[in-house]
Amino acid sequence: MRVITLDNPPVNALSFAYCAKLYEAIEAAHADDSVEAIVFTGANGLFSGGADVNDFNNELPAGAVTIRDVIRAVELSIKPHIAAIDGVALGGGLELALACDYRIATPRSKLGLPEIKLGLLPGAGGTQRLPRLIGARAALEFMLKGSAVPAARVLELGILDEIVDGNVLERAISLAKEIPPKRRISALEATIAPDVPMQAAPFVVAQAHKMVPPEDNGGFAAHKLIDAVQAAVELPFAFGVAREARLFDELVHSKASLALRHVFFAERELSKVPGLEATQQCHPERSRRTLAIAKAGVVGAGTMGSGIAITFAQSGVPVVVVDTNEEAVDKARQTVMGMFMYQVQKGRLTQEEAWQRGQSITFTDDWRELADADLVVEAVFEDPEVKREVFAKLDGIVKPEGLLASNTSTLDIDAMAAATGRPQKVLGLHFFVPANIMPLLEIVRGRATSAQTLATAFAIGKMLKKKAVLSGNAFGFIGNRMVFDYVREAFALAEEGTTPARVDAVMKAFGFPMGPFAMSDLSGLDIGLHVQKLQGKAGQGRTNVLEQLVEQKRLGQKAMAGFFKYDKAVGKGREPIADSVVEQLFAQEACKAGIASRVVTDREIRERLLYALINRGAYLLEEGVALRPGDIDIVFVYGYGFPPHHGGPMWYADEVGVARVYERIREFEATFGPQWKPSALLARVAASHDVGSLAHA
Ligand code: 3H9
């Protein structure tokens, strides 16, 4: 018996270089007559994270050994192989386990084929073996979701043979000593599902194609995956594997996969901040210099405050919410209870867990209860004076080592820090509504914010399972600052005679879950106007349509009328319905302001909105507000629904070609005015190559 340990830190990725070593070890075990069985296990706390995604960016080097070669060696051997899994087994890692004869795992293990999230499909036999093991329908569901699934569920599905409570390697070794028989999955016939006859295959395949997004709008890999599973059902194993390999190769070079792989790596770059020491960069939560957050405080029990409190409670951190308004507190209590009960209904929490989480949020009107909090986040009204008062008060109450954060979406962190005697411990933590659901967190660095405070903020982000992006302290930070320009163009288009419904439809067709007008309705037109006032831009628009809508109490979705109207009977009151009243208001005000009506193409709509984002993003890079183009992309993918298969606005600029984007922005500047002045960075990148790259600027 031979134990082969996958050991390629940090995640035992099956790179070409590592596969060459692995292949050698496997062939040595096969050649050794004293070895009757082979056990695979993993070092570094996991089985394997799958293929090395970096390898996909290069052409396959001549003579390279890949996971497919490793798996073929396992498959061809007459000796039994056992996968002993502890931790995650993903992608090619799970495909290796599927080529084994037995698969056993510890209860904490998670297994998955997440390739779809990278715009790929399992390309090392996974699409052919899984339908043979658990049926095509269950296999498709498993691969289309791409989640890392807990061992208990994987056992139920029939992918695992056994869950081992004790030492999984010991159990595998004892299993190997029994010399179990070969059980090649490749020798099985694929089925659809226990209750479905094989004749139903065409129907099941057609249904699956209908259920995923269109090929040109985020569904490219999903359709190819369905094709591969169809091959598993219709073709002998060897032909199916060949079809899978062809489909995989098409996907690896697709724009969507390149974009999704960019998002994957950009996400992992986020906490690498120049100036923070190496240990903090890699493992902020482990660094001694980060502060432990054992108790959190929130000021303000509004929508934002309750969402933030739930987020901390979900991560096991007790939290005190301070608000003197009884009505707001009652509402917040109901929101919190409702949220946890919903999770019980969905089977995500037990009654007991829901009760415990609910208990870990305390509401009070007594600010002194914040005294021993390690971190307090204020979520009060967006007004500079109110915020300053809150910070001054907190500074007098919270223990000196406690961090003070603002959840402001726009305002100056330095002004708040100046109201305290601990500016180095003041920062912005900008959550997005609803805070307990939205994955994005902007960490705003003030002039005096210390490295320790920042490192702690990244550790908090990780603890709360957020994508934490660092932003400089500038009005609107990264996300909102860029969205102002995006919405500005949407508004300008409406003033020029394009209906809000059409603008939104074009952006939805690009892949956003909603268009800019529906988004404005969701966040509230009154909020939009308030922010314009804070920015000193209210009343500077070409028309006063926004002001009029707010005066008419058309505040957006919450008022069942904004740029669109809403009807409780249509999409639970959340579906925007075009409203001719608003369209007429735009037409009438545009006429008064002397704005000529223009006929625009869908392409112009898309370009004006997306290039406004790109131009502002380039300014933010130039000004140092955003560290990297990838950081901006993460903000937009996770905070604003930018379609991940386009990689985020800055990646999209590269996809289109920066030179082309720049030229178009110059044309917009000439046609529409100085708001379109291109950033110097954009000009430089556009000039540097024919197809310049912002990613490498
Ligand atoms: C595949 O398998 C294709 C096959 O079907 C067919 C082939 C023919 N490759 O996330 P973390 C790096 S496709 C390269 O912070 P965690 C990551 O960049 C693959 N690098 O840790 C980071 O580097 P750095 C299918 C990878 O503990 C470091 O490892 N598999 C890969 O929070 C730590 O990462 C997947 O899609 C990789 N595959 O989570 C799994 N994975 O330190 C993708 C990680 O320089 N990976 N890195 O910043 C994951 O889901 C998580 O990383 C994992 C660990 C759960 C493994």
- For residues 90 and 6, the answer to whether their CB atoms sit within 8 Å is no
**179: confidence class by pLDDT, cuts 50, 70, 90:** confident
Question: Per-residue pLDDT averaged across 357-377, rounded?
Answer: 96
Catalytic residue among 36, 75, 115, 663: 115
Instruction: Examine the pLDDT at 60 and tell me if it is beyond 90.
Output: no
Decide: 483 and 520 in contact? Cβ < 8 Å.
no
Mean pLDDT for the stretch of residues 106-123: 98
DSSP characters over 503-534:
HHHHHHHHT-SS-HHHHHHHH-HHHHHHHHHH
CA distance 681 to 623: 10
CATH number of 480-686: 1.10.1040.50
User: Is residue 584 very low, low, confident or very high in pLDDT (cuts 50, 70, 90)?
Assistant: very high
pLDDT digits (tens, 9 = 90+) for 237-255: 999 999 999 999 999 999 9
Q: Do 470 and 627 meet the contact criterion of CB atoms below 8 Å apart?
A: yes
* CB distance 95 to ligand 1 below 6 Å: yes
Q: For the chain, where do the domains classified as CATH 3.40.50.720 start and end? A: 289-473
Q: Which of 279, 315, 625 is nearest to 452 (CA)?
A: 279
Encoded tokens for 189: 């016939």
Q: What is the DSSP string of 84-100?
A: EE-SEEETHHHHHHHHS
Structural tokens at position 31: 């050649």
Average pLDDT over residues 206-220: 94
Answer yes or no: is the C-beta of 50 below 6 A from any ligand 1 atom: yes
Distance CA 402, CA 428 (A): 14
- In the reported structure, the alpha carbon of residue 696 is separated from the centroid of ligand 1 by a whole-number distance in angstroms of 22
Task: Give the pLDDT confidence of 82-97 residue by residue, as tens digits.
Answer: 999 999 999 999 999 9
* Per-residue pLDDT at 274: 87
Query: Atom 49 of ligand 1 has which residue's CA nearest to it?
Result: 49
Residue 502 pLDDT greater than 60, yes or no: yes
| CA distance from start to end of the chain | 53
Q: Mention every residue, 6+ apart, whose C-beta is less than 8 A from residue 350.
A: 344
Interval 382-395 mean pLDDT: 96
User: What was the pLDDT predicted at 109?
Assistant: 98
C-alpha 238/C-alpha 245 separation (Å) is 11
Is 11 close to ligand 1, i.e. is its CB under 6 Å away?
Answer: yes
Whether 282 shows a pLDDT value over 60: the answer reads no
Q: How many CB atoms lie within 10 A of CB 528?
A: 23
CATH code, residues 2-252? 3.90.226.10
Residue ranges, CATH 3.90.226.10, the chain: 2-252
pLDDT, average across residues 333-347: 90
399 CB neighbour count, 10 Å cutoff: 10
According to the model, what pLDDT value does residue 288 have? 45
Rounded to an integer, the average pLDDT of 454-472 is 97
* 302 Cβ closer than 6 Å to some ligand 1 atom: no
Q: Which amino acid residue places its CA nearest to atom 50 of ligand 1? A: 49
Q: Report residue 460: phi and psi, to 5°.
A: -65, -45
The residue among 508 and 349 whose pLDDT is bigger is 508
Neighbouring residues of 607: CB distance < 8 A, sequence distance ≥ 6: 664
What's the whole-number mean pLDDT along residues 121-132? Answer: 98
Ligand 1, atom 5, residue with closest C-alpha: 122
Nearest CA to ligand 1 atom 52: 49
Name the band, by pLDDT with cuts 50, 70 and 90, for residue 540.
Answer: low
Burial of residue 278, with CB atoms counted within 10 A of its CB: 0-12 exposed, 13-18 middle, 19 or more buried: exposed
- The pLDDT, as a whole number, for residue 283 is 53
Q: What's the whole-model pTM score?
A: 0.94
Q: Where would I find the beta strands (DSSP E) of 268-339?
A: 296-299, 319-322
Enumerate the CATH 1.10.1040.50 domain ranges in the chain, comma separated.
480-686
Look at residue 692 in the predicted model and tell me its pLDDT: 56
Q: Output the CA–CA distances (angstroms, integers) from residue 33 to 27, 351, 642, in the order listed.
A: 12, 56, 57
Beta-strand ranges (E) seen in 48-99 are 81-85, 88-90
Q: What is the number of other CB atoms lying within 10 angstroms of the CB of residue 70?
A: 25
Is 382 among the residues known to form the active site?
no
On whether the CB atoms of residues 267 and 467 are closer than 8 A, the answer is: yes
* Ligand 1 center to 255 CA (angstroms): 20
- Give residue 136 CA to ligand 1 midpoint distance, Å: 26
What is the C-alpha to C-alpha distance for residues 416 and 423, in angstroms, rounded to an integer? 8
- How far apart are the CA of 13 and the centre of ligand 1, in A? 7
Is the beta carbon of 119 within 6 A of some atom in ligand 1? no
CATH number given to 289-473: 3.40.50.720
- CA 113 to ligand 1: nearest atom: 25
Catalytic residue among 75, 95, 382, 607: 95
- CA dist 670 and 682 (Å) reads 17
**Residue reference for tokens 């100036």:** 275
Give 520: exposed, middle or buried? Use CB within 10 Å, 0-12, 13-18, 19+: buried
Per-residue pLDDT, 290: 86
Q: Kindly state the average pLDDT of the residues 360-372.
A: 96
- Of the residues 53, 72, 253, 465, which should be mutated to test ligand 1's pocket, given the most ligand atoms within 8 Å of the CB? 53
- Residue 198: alpha-carbon gap to chain centroid: 37
Q: Is 90 in the pocket of ligand 1 (CB under 6 A)?
A: yes
Say if residue 287's pLDDT is above 70.
Answer: no
Q: What is the mean pLDDT of residues 589-613?
A: 97
Least confident of 146-160, 272-286, 408-422, 649-663: 272-286
Residue 61's pLDDT is what?
86
- Out of 269-283, 533-547, 628-642, which region has the weakest mean confidence (pLDDT)? 269-283
524 pLDDT above the threshold of 90? yes
pLDDT at 559 over 70: yes
pLDDT digits (tens, 9 = 90+) for 133-171: 999 999 999 999 999 999 999 999 999 999 999 999 999
3-state DSSP call for residue 348? Answer: coil
95 is catalytic: yes
Q: Ligand 1 pocket, 123 CB below 6 A?
A: yes
- CB of 587 within 8 A of CB of 475? no
